[in-house]
Amino acid sequence: MELLIFAALAIGLLFFMSSRTRKQQQTQQSFRSSLAPGQEVMTASGLFGTVVAIDDENDVITLETEPGGSQTRWLRAAIAKRVDTDEVVEDETETDAVLGTADDAGIDLGKRDDSFDVPDDISGIDGPRRDDEGDKTK
């Protein structure tokens, strides 16, 4: 009897795990099928680019890393997510609001008074000082 309960629990657990995985795969598949030229995406390896062309027959997407730059071909399955440029700009402004800027903190990033000049060559620099070169009182 106990064996039947454990078997039923195992089968139920496997069913729920596989249904969640199936749902995630369907979500990814619908995302990849909805890609269109002009969208900015990130690949699974971390490359950012703009979709230039889509070859549905071979399941290949052409990405451009910068405007007028090189174009690379990727399998559709290698596209991990869509990148919204508006969110990136909002994140930067939120960071400035939280941390503030140097002007807000009263920090002067200009030339400091205690700065020093670094010579172009080492001819004017004294050699290393040794502790045993001092007074010899033996």
**Rounded mean pLDDT, 58-70:** 89
Which pLDDT value is given to residue 129?
A: 67
Same domain for 27 and 45, yes or no, is no
pLDDT in tens, 18-33: 888 888 888 888 888 8
Same domain for 42 and 97, yes or no, is yes
Q: Is 130 inside a domain boundary?
A: no
Same domain for 51 and 86, yes or no, is yes
Q: For the domain that residue 72 is a member of, what is the CATH number?
A: 2.30.30.140
> What's the number of domains the chain is made of?
2
Q: β-strands 40-43, 48-55: how paired?
A: antiparallel
The residue segments making up the domain with residue 55 are 36-102
d(CA 66, CA 48): 9
CA distances from 21 to 12, 25, 92 (A): 14, 6, 34
pLDDT in tens, 71-121: 999 999 899 988 876 654 555 556 555 566 656 666 666 656 666 667 677
Q: 52 pLDDT band (50/70/90 cuts)?
A: very high
> Is the separation of the CB atoms in 82 and 38 below 8 Å?
no
